[in-house]
Amino acid sequence: MQTAAISVRCNGPMGDEKAMKIYSFGEETKPAILLLPGTCCHWKRNFGHVIPLLQEHFYVLCASYDGSDETEDSTFPNMLIETAKLESYIQKNLGGQLFAAYGCSLGGSFVGLMVQRKKIHIRHGILGSSDLDQGSSFGTWAMAKAMTPLLGKMLRSGKLLVWAKKKMEEKAGAEYAQAMLQLFGCSAATQELPSMAFVSNTSIFNQFFSDMVTPLEDDIYVPGTKIHCFYAVKMGEEYENRYRRHFVDPDIRYHAMQHEELLACYPEQWVEEVLASCRLDGRGMEENDFEERHFTEAERAQAEITESGNPRKPEGEDGKKMLERMNESHHNVTGWALSLWEIQGNDNILDIGCGGGAALSRMAEHVTDGHLTGIDYSPVSVETSRATNAESVAAGKMEILEGSVEKLPFEAETFDKIVTVESFYFWPNPQENLKEVRRVLKTGGTFLLVADIYEKPGLPREVKDNIRKFHLFNPTMEQFKNLFREAGFAETRIHTKDGEDWICVEGTK
C-alpha cells in the first residue's frame, strides 16, 4: 500500500502539543471515507486488509490515534480532544465535508460524536459493532484501573491470557478468535501487523475511561446524514436498542456474527456492506446520482401495497392484499422446499410465520391422521390463514394461533416437523429464536427454513434495495450453518436450486 501521512494539530482550548496522524490512500477525486480504529488498535491491524479493496471506490483516510502510532511519542488524551483533531483535519483538507466515516468498535463513538457536534458534515456515518456503552465516572474509573494492566500486558507480550483465549475460542470458534487477536494486537508482529508493545498504560486507561464517560446524546439527527449500524446479532439485542436510542431512524444492518467479525473474517463482504450503506456501485458514484429505475404502474402499485401492508407484520387492508399476493409468489419456492420432506399422514407439523396460510394448505393434502398448527404474530395473517384453511380448521385438523417465535406456546418435544417460509428475515433475535424452535421440535425431527434469497455475490440491485429498505436479516450459507449449530441442531444441511437464489436450511434435532 502506498501511503501519505499527515499530522493533525487541534486548534483551540482543548488542543495539546502532540499531533494525530491521518494516513491517506488512493485518488483524491473519489469520495472520501475516514476509517477509525478500535480501542488501542493499530490502523494497519484494523484496516490494512480492506484498504486495497476500498481504494477502488474511495479516497481512503485512516486515523492513527495519539498513543497508537509507533512513529510518534504521544499519549491518547481523551475522546473530545481527538474528535476535535479529526474535525480540524476534515475542515482544512475536505472543506468540512466527509462522504463517509467507518468506526470500528471505539471508532463508532467518534462517528457519533462528530455527527452530534455538527462541526463538520458526514453524509454516511457507519458504526461497526460499536458498544456505545456508557457508565458513571467512579464505576468506569475503577473498571479502567483494573483493566489497564491486563490490556497493557497483552499488548506488550502480543498474547492473550491463556484462559481468556480458551474462553473466546469456546464461545465463538478458533477462526474468529485468531482474527480478533490479529485485529487487536495480540498476535505475532509482522510488517503488516505491527507490534503494539509501545502503547502506554496511560493511553489504554484514557481510551477506555473517556470513551465510556463522554456523553453521546439520544435521538441524534442531522439533515443529510444517514447513520448505518453493522449490528452483530450475537452480541445481544441491547446493542440494537442503543443504536435506536442514540440515533433517529438508523439503518440497522443485521449480521449473525460476533463483535466486528464481518471486518475481521469476511473483508470482501464487509466492503460490499460499506458500499451498500453508501449506495455506491462500482464506479464511485451514488446509484441515485446516475440512474433511476423506471417502474411500471403495476409495479409501483404493488410496491406501495407492500410498504403500506408492512411485510414484517402485515396490517390493514393492504396487508391482506399483500398476503394474497405472497400466497402466489411464494408458491414455487414453497413447493420445492416441501418436496425435500417426506410428510407422513400422522405428522404433527408447525408452520412459524404462517402468513397467508398457503404452505399449511399444501401440507394438509398429505396429513391425514396428524395435525397442523400455524402461528403468526400478525392478527391480519392469522385471520387470512384461517380463511385460507377454513375447511381444515373446522374439521379440527388444523389450528391457527396468534403468537411469536420468541416464546412459542407449546411444550418441549411437541412437533415432528417445523417449517418457516419467508419469515426468518424478520425474526427479532434469530439465534435465540432458533433455540426456541429446537425446544418444541421432537428429537429426530426436522426444521426447514425456507427463503427465496440468501446473502451472496451477484444479488440483483432490486433485491439489495429491498434488503436495505425492509431491514431484512439475510445470512450467508456459512452463517446459516453457524446459527443452526449454535442453536443446538445435531445436523444441518443446506439445499439450493440451480438458476434460483433460493435456500432451504434443514436442521435435525
* pLDDT of 464: 82
* pLDDT of 330: 87
**Contacts made by residues 309-314, CB under 8 angstroms, sequence distance 24+:** 311/426, 311/470, 312/426, 312/470, 312/471, 313/377, 313/378, 313/426, 314/355, 314/378, 314/380, 314/381, 314/384
Taken in order of first residue, the domains within the chain and their CATH numbers are 4-135+215-290 (3.40.50.1820), 137-204 (no CATH), 324-508 (3.40.50.150)
For residues 83 and 210, the answer to whether their CB atoms sit within 8 Å is no
Nearest to 194 by CA among 210, 204, 182: 182
End-to-end Cα spacing for the chain = 49
For residues 364 and 419, the answer to whether their CB atoms sit within 8 Å is no
For residues 375 and 357, the answer to whether their CB atoms sit within 8 Å is no
C-alpha cell at 193: 501487523
32-36 and 59-64 strand pairing: parallel
User: How many angstroms separate the CA atoms of 80 and 397, rounded?
Assistant: 65
User: How many angstroms separate the CA atoms of 382 and 379, rounded?
Assistant: 5
For residues 279 and 288, the answer to whether their CB atoms sit within 8 Å is yes
* pLDDT of 285: 42
Question: Which whole-number Å values give the CA distances from 21 to 42, 53, 77, in the listed order?
Answer: 12, 22, 14
* pLDDT of 126: 97
Q: How many CB atoms lie within 10 A of CB 293?
A: 10
Task: Give the global pTM.
Answer: 0.60
User: How many angstroms separate the CA atoms of 35 and 1, rounded?
Assistant: 15
* pLDDT of 78: 95
On the CB side of 77, how many CA atoms lie within 13 Å of its CA? 15
pLDDT along the chain (509 residues), means of 10: 56 53 93 94 92 95 93 91 94 94 94 96 94 85 87 78 67 74 72 82 91 93 93 87 93 86 91 88 42 47 66 80 82 92 95 94 94 94 94 96 95 97 91 96 97 88 80 89 95 93 96
What are the strands of the beta sheet with 441-451, ordered from one edge?
A: 398-402, 371-376, 348-352, 415-421, 441-451, 503-508, 491-496
* pLDDT of 292: 39
Task: State residue 373 phi and psi, 5-degree precision.
Answer: -130, 130
